[in-house]
Homo-oligomer: A and B are copies of this chain.
Amino acid sequence: MTTNSSPSEPRHPIRVVTERTGLSPDVLRAWERRYGAVNPARGEGRHRLYSDDDIRRLTLLVRAIQAGRSVASVVALPPEELGRLVAEDGEQGVEARTPAQAYLAQGMGAIHDLTPALLEATLRRAVLSLGIPEFLGKVLVPMIEKVGEVWHAGELGVAHEHAATAAMERLLGWLLRELAPGGGAPRLLMATPAGERHGLGALIAAVSAAVDGWHVTWLGADLPALEIAAAARRDLPDLVGLSIAIPKGSGALPRELADLRKALSIDTPLLLGGRGASAMPATEGIIMVRDLPHWHVLLRTHRPTHRWSS
């Protein structure tokens, strides 16, 4: 369909390249002059014009450098080899120690020492330094997984695990309160169905939604369908979200969900996510959430039309 949009066609001014690669104009010119990293064409008034290929190559270079390699060691590589290198580095964790990892290590130390107050303070510092999205992805979720591992290996007692979970839940509750938006925000009702006593996953989803501007009502964990439905009648949410950690395709859970679906207003979407959700049989009227990115997409999709109260 295209006349002349070949990837080697020069058409991007330097400004666009800085936006897309994150490199400053100075660096772009320096790399060109010193290493000949790219060879952009020139326009009328001697302005640089980069091709799509140029941009791709620069992006790869940036990734390779972020993985800890030196500039000089990668600028000379031919494209294919560069791509291979970056792919490899992506698989391995070649990265140095990021702040997030430092917080993670510090938090694990606090868990081992059974000092929940210190753990909570550490998590709090981590949130404030990194921002919620990065905190959730690079500190909290890895920490939960790690605690699970270490606990199964017998290196931690039940007390440790419970104390850590409680501290995390306190922290997430705090975030939820701090994030409470003003009126006019879309409303989300979040809970965990009867039989599911682990609320961490649901809380993480709740906080993620709050960052996106939702007003979240957190009901708690292990709630019977009727309780949730009653709360929904009072709260009138635009969306109801549930999360289950333990896969329970059988048992009382499917029944609970069906009851809840029936008790809810028909036009209120009901979403189900969490690690155990994938094992659930598909059910009419219940939307499955695969993972956190998918959750954000669904939130955006089901957001009611704007009604700004000025």
Contact = CB atoms under 8 A, between A and B. Distances in A.
A283 interface: no
A182 B131 CA distance: 21
Contacts of A93: 19-20
Q: Which of A68, A69, A72, A124 has its CB near the most chain B CB atoms (within 10 A)?
A: A68
Contact of A70 (B5, B47, B94, B135): B47
Given A19-B93, A20-B92, A182-B118, A68 B13 contact: yes
Interface stretch (A33-41, A173-181, A186-194): A173-181
B84 A5 contact: yes
A30 interface: no
Interface footprint category on A: 35 or more
Nearest to A72: B44
Contacts of A16: 67-69, 89, 94
Given A19-B67, A68-B19, A128 B13 contact: no
A247 interface: no
A156 interface: no
Contacts of A47: 70
A236 interface: no
A125 B92 contact: no
A43 B72 CA distance: 10
B132 A129 contact: yes
A250 interface: no
A214 B73 CA distance: 37
Contact of A68 (B15, B68, B70, B131): B15
